[in-house]
Structure 1
Amino acid sequence: MRAEVRSGAPLLRDAAFLRLWTGATASGLATWALPFVLGFAVLERSLTAGGLGVVLAARTVGFLVAVPVAGVLADRHPRRRVVAWSGAVAGLATPLLAVGLGRSVVLVAAAAAVVGAGQGACRPAFQALTAEVVAEERRRRANAAMTVAVRVTTLVAPGLTALLALVVDTPVLVVGTAVLWWVAALVPPSGAAVVPVVRRRFAAEFVDGLREARRHPWFVAGLGALTAVIATGYSATGVVLPLVSRDRYGTGAVLAAATTAYAVGALGGAVVAARRRSRAQGWTALAGLACYGFVPLALLLPVHAVVVVAAYAVAGAGIELFNVPWFTATQREVEPAKLARVSSLDFLLSYGLAPVGLALIAPAVAGFGADVVLAVCAVVCFAAPAAAAFVPSSKDFR
């Protein structure tokens, strides 16, 4: 039976949205928690640092393989069913991670690849399911509520996980993420029936998704800008921030303060995006995305540590001022029968390929120096959204 959020009901008091929000939040928390928990395995010597790298790489490969496949499947089948499959796959594979710790890196990596596949498969399905469950006029607030949950999690969960690590073993924490995946699989509501499509070969249906994406120039331009910012600014600052914190300021406190400021800023940005809607929402969103350029700029210049922390807060706010209208516009503008495929392109190119940027940035820093890399990244972060803004339909993401 279809569940839809009523127009007049407060979002978190509506049973359908609360179930959707709970499932999406559980999947996000499970995705975030696994690398953090496996870090404790390194501290306990049940996994080496090199083994951790192999395991996280395997998870990324699983994600990249599953995202386009899931986009097609979620347009063929009920999105609720694809969410259930994805969560169940990750929930079944996660305990194998716990079994393999201290015994077999191969087993842990194989299980991580399957978990990554479940993670990748649920992302486009959740995006499409949101459009089915939530009425169009409420999707902006719904998307903001989901991202607020993620940001609060990133602020609170590290401390809670560290406290739990004092009383339970790492394998138990790993199994705890399996419970989260089962919540993501079982709790979300059903949405509207998928628009029937003529079944064709997988490649042909995926190409149809590409054509649908190309039909929206604002989407192509915005996705290009987002990918450029994540591949350069996000990746470079992830590599350089610890070095700057240590070498320039002589303390790890700047690293901790900057990452916390980013999460706090993102939380504030999501709240603002939920409550206020600008006339030129596309240009406003792209301006928010461009704010990430202040981060490599602050790391490049000899500024006070407070400026670096402030730059991260601004970047966090900006990324959510982009994300909320971006997701909402995609759900509104893309043909419903092809929404999951278009969303899969979004996750594949932006978040899915972020590890590739991280892998390339470190050699670039070693070869050209951190200052050159940061300067290039700052230029890209400012220029890519500005270039996207010149696409006429980007003004309103319509």
Structure 2
Amino acid sequence: MTVPTPSDSDTSRPPTRSVVRDGRFIRLWCGTTASGLATWALPFVLGLAVLDRTLTAAGLGVVLATRTVGFLLAVPVSGVLADRYSRRAVVLWAGLAAAVATPVIALGLGGSVLVMAVAAAVVGAGQGACRPAFQALTAEVVEAERRQQANAAITLAVRVTTLVAPAGTALLAVVLDTGLLVVGTGLLWLLAAFLPPRGLPAPAPTGERPRLLKEFGEGVREARRHPWFFAGLGALAAVVFTGYSVTGVALPLVSRDRYGTEAVLAAALTAYTVGALAGAVLVARWKPRAQGWVALAGLAFYGFAPLSLLLPVHPVVVFAAYALTGLGIELFNVPWFTATQREVEPRLLARVSSLDFLVSYGLAPVGLAFLAPAIDVFGWQPVLAGCAAVCFLAPAAAALVPSSRGFSRRARV
């Protein structure tokens, strides 16, 4: 039986012109923003610990690696749990787990890297458990016609945080030690746990529950019912594996070796964030007829990143390429999330979302590990040219799938 969405079941709820006037969405937005800020802040704060010598660079790598492992292990499990039980409850317990484990990381600073790593794995698991549950909770809290605006508002908050938070954290570091800053990220997780509103009640149990793996497989089968989803996910995975890796590995090296300054790295990343902000603002209200094709075209913009590093161009060209890349990724992200919330059967939404996060986030560290050795073996130009080609061609191939035009199996007028 399909669980109805609020837009299906609550016809008496008066519509509002904008999600920013909806108190329930504001609570959800604040919760997701707090979780995103906590997720971003921890690596930066631990980087400060390396600078003040309370943590070694190797220790930082171990802690961040275990956090990623915790995230990847939790994502598929949480997708099943968020569909099996209340999405709001999964957010609550995931946020509480991360909030409790964060002070343990602070206790391990200057002492045991093992303690920090175990606690970081729990924090990563909380982060991973929140992501699909938040996606499904958004579909429960926000009516279908306003979800694109809601998703744009959420991603806009993430980009603003990325832009302004480094300076804020650096200022706090003047008056607070690193341990207190780490604990502060735990307070953010408490906000993420308690702020979001209630969604729909948990589905009633129907006999004996199948195993988690079998339930996750049901989500994979649901995803396969939507050819546009599998095609888009494949394109996203290819772009993450190549284009994202270029930004993480090649851009710092090019900034240092070709331009002789880290300022190019900082300016390119800032341009990316500014472009993403512009993309989120644009896509909040723009709904083109062929929305899927526009989204895939935006994803293909990521090819401009490796292309700008391929030849010795003026730094302004690099900045413009990264601004286009940021713009394009939001032209993809917001319609992608909105279409998933619209098209996927509601009782399976968290599982399908967890598949999305598992593939995209799981390939990111693999690509980062692959790119540097590939450059050593094949050289700069072939690798960057190959990455650019993949970023352009993978979304184009996904666009050939008939249902990709509108990210829908139904004909849309």
Same-fold call, TM cutoff 0.5: yes
| 1:154-173 aligned within 5 A | 154-173=162-181
- Which consecutive residues of structure 1, in runs of 5 or more, have no partner in the other structure? none
Q: Secondary structure at the match of 1:276?
A: coil
Matched residue, 1:109: 117
| 1:1-398 aligned within 5 A | 7-196=15-204, 198=206, 199-398=209-408
- Greater CA drift, 60-69 or 190-199: 190-199
Q: One-letter code of the match for 2:119?
A: A
Equivalent residues of 2:242, 2:391 under 8 A apart: yes
**Which whole-Å CA distance do the structure 2 matches of 1:89 and 1:9 have between them?**
36
State the shift of 1:6 in Å.
Answer: 5.2
State the shift of 1:202 in Å.
Answer: 1.1
**Which whole-Å CA distance do the structure 2 matches of 1:133 and 1:32 have between them?**
25
Q: One-letter code of the match for 1:361?
A: L
State the shift of 1:397 in Å.
Answer: 0.1
State the shift of 1:196 in Å.
Answer: 4.1
**Which whole-Å CA distance do the structure 2 matches of 1:269 and 1:99 have between them?**
40
Q: Secondary structure at the match of 1:351?
A: helix
**Which whole-Å CA distance do the structure 1 matches of 2:15 and 2:305 have between them?**
39
State the shift of 1:195 in Å.
Answer: 4.1
**Which whole-Å CA distance do the structure 1 matches of 2:55 and 2:246 have between them?**
27
Q: Secondary structure at the match of 1:119?
A: helix
Q: One-letter code of the match for 1:106?
A: L
RMSD of aligned Cα (Å)? 1.3
Q: One-letter code of the match for 1:341?
A: R
Q: How many residues align?
A: 397
Equivalent residues of 1:246, 1:252 under 8 A apart: yes
Q: One-letter code of the match for 1:269?
A: G
Equivalent residues of 2:70, 2:125 under 8 A apart: yes
State the shift of 1:355 in Å.
Answer: 1.3
Identity of aligned residues (%): 71
**Which whole-Å CA distance do the structure 2 matches of 1:373 and 1:245 have between them?**
17
Are the structure 2 counterparts of residues 290 and 296 from structure 1 closer, same or farther at C-alpha, using a change threshold of 3 Å? Answer: same
Q: One-letter code of the match for 1:231?
A: F
State the shift of 1:248 in Å.
Answer: 1.1
Q: One-letter code of the match for 1:23?
A: G
Spell out structure 1 runs of 4+ moving beyond 6 A: 2-5
**Which whole-Å CA distance do the structure 1 matches of 2:232 and 2:205 have between them?**
28
Equivalent residues of 1:71, 1:121 under 8 A apart: yes
Equivalent residues of 1:63, 1:352 under 8 A apart: no
TM-score by length of 2: 0.94
Are the structure 2 counterparts of residues 213 and 183 from structure 1 closer, same or farther at C-alpha, using a change threshold of 3 Å? Answer: same
Equivalent residues of 1:282, 1:325 under 8 A apart: yes
Q: Secondary structure at the match of 1:302?
A: coil
State the shift of 1:9 in Å.
Answer: 4.6
Matched residue, 2:411: none
**Which whole-Å CA distance do the structure 2 matches of 1:27 and 1:360 have between them?**
29
- Which consecutive residues of structure 2, in runs of 5 or more, have no partner in the other structure? 409-413
